[in-house]
């Protein structure tokens, strides 16, 4: 089933993936970090690097679920090696279309939405709330590295450490790590914040002949659609997972989320994984090396921690009363 998104270069389509020859026991709907565009929200890093980090994470998560007899539904680029534009990502994430696509795919495949799990990673957790508010009623939610703080605070968390460690293009020892996209965003954070408060929706940054167009969806900065109000739409069991070393979304967001969700939901679990990053991968011990690895994309070479995947599986099996798979984790 396709979303209403096509272009001459790329399209994003909803893809239902089955667990081999086994009968599916559940459906996990994946909502990625890039649903509001790659930059600045999924930075720091070049657009292509931010895309590859999230794509790699999504593939590992989906592969794990398939190996446990669980179907996945996710947005995939066509052709598969294409990198969608931010406009295409935002259009593909239009809530009424997403809601219709999910309902239709589930109807055609025989999957029951009430036996599905919404899995939101990063900013995908916000989209998860919007779908719930629009009327989608899954069995429960998994919020991984979820966002609760206001957007200005999140962007500051992402880019401020670079300034704190003095990473500059003029430093010959650092220049390989600081890409031009990160540099121009880091140098114009104030301008980005002012544009977002004015509801401009889009801003063009230009520095030394280098151009970057950033999309700033107005709903992300709207008081009427603040995250605390959106999370009020969740009423079903929820699992919150966060890496203690997350450089993209502070781990404090997990505690704020738990407090908020417990106001209406009786079944809320929070798990903080020690020294794991935004993608639940291993991190170096030294703080500066963590920032360097984050900027260079070296973190992508570490596998997603199997304990993170197992926590997700146990939550799904308990919630849907699925008999535990005989395929145990190593």
Q: Regarding predicted confidence, which is higher, 176 or 282?
A: 282
Q: Which two tokens stand for residue 191?
A: 């301008």
Query: Is there a contact between 185 and 43 (Cβ–Cβ < 8 Å)?
Result: yes
Output the 3-class SS for 102-120. HHHHHHHHCCCHHHEEEEE
Q: Please, which residues have CB within 8 angstroms of residue 134's CB and are 6 or more apart in sequence?
A: 95, 96, 99
What is the reported pLDDT for 2?
36
Give the tens place of pLDDT for each residue, 210-253.
999 999 999 998 888 899 999 999 999 999 999 999 999 999 99
What is the reported pLDDT for 132?
97
Q: Is the pLDDT of residue 177 over 80?
A: no
Query: Is there a contact between 31 and 119 (Cβ–Cβ < 8 Å)?
Result: yes
Considering just the CA atoms, what is the radius of gyration of the chain in Å?
19
Domains and CATH numbers, the chain: 11-150+228-320 (3.40.50.1820)
Instruction: Please give the helix or strand (H or E) that residue 17 lies within, else none.
Output: strand 11-17
Give the tens place of pLDDT for each residue, 275-315.
999 999 999 888 878 888 888 777 888 899 999 999 999 99
C-alpha to C-alpha distance for 84 and 52, rounded to whole angstroms = 12
- This prediction has a pTM of 0.91
What is the reported pLDDT for 162?
73
- Mean pLDDT of the chain, nearest integer: 88
Give the tens place of pLDDT for each residue, 253-267.
999 999 999 999 999
Query: Is there a contact between 217 and 201 (Cβ–Cβ < 8 Å)?
Result: yes
Q: What is the three-class DSSP state of 31?
A: strand
What is the reported pLDDT for 120?
98
pLDDT band at 167 (very low <50, low <70, confident <90, very high): low
* Phi, psi at 287, each rounded to 5°: -60, -45
């Amino acid at each position: 089933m396709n979303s209403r998104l096509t272009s001459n270069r790329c399209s994003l389509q909803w893809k239902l993936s089955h667990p081999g020859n086994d009968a599916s026991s559940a459906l996990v709907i994946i909502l990625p970090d890039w649903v509001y565009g790659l930059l600045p929200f999924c930075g720091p890093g070049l657009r292509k690097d931010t895309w590859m980090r999230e794509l790699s994470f999504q593939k590992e998560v989906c592969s794990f679920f398939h190996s446990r007899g669980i179907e996945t539904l996710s947005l995939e680029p066509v052709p598969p090696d294409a990198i969608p534009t931010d406009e295409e990502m935002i259009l593909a994430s239009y809530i009424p279309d997403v809601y219709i696509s999910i309902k239709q795919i589930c109807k055609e495949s025989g999957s029951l939405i009430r036996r599905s799990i919404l899995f939101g990673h990063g900013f995908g957790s916000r989209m998860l709330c919007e779908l719930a508010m629009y009327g989608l009623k899954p069995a429960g939610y998994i919020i991984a590295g979820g966002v609760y703080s206001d957007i200005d605070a999140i962007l500051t968390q992402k880019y401020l450490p670079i300034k704190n460690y003095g990473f500059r293009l003029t430093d010959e020892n650092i220049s390989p790590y600081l890409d031009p996209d990160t540099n121009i965003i880091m140098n114009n954070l104030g301008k980005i914040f002012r544009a977002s408060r004015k509801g401009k929706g889009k801003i063009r940054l230009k520095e030394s002949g280098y151009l970057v167009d950033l999309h700033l969806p107005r709903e992300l900065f709207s008081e009427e659609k603040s995250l605390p109000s959106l999370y009020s739409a969740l009423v079903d069991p929820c699992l919150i997972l966060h890496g203690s070393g997350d450089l993209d979304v502070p781990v404090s967001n997990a505690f704020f989320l738990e407090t908020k969700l417990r106001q209406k939901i009786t079944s809320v679990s929070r798990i903080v994984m020690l020294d794991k990053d935004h993608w639940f991968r291993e991190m170096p011990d030294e703080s500066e090396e963590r920032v360097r690895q984050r900027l260079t994309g070296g973190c992508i070479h570490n596998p997603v921690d199997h304990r993170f995947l197992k926590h997700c599986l146990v939550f799904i099996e308990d919630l849907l009363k699925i008999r535990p798979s005989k395929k145990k984790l190593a």
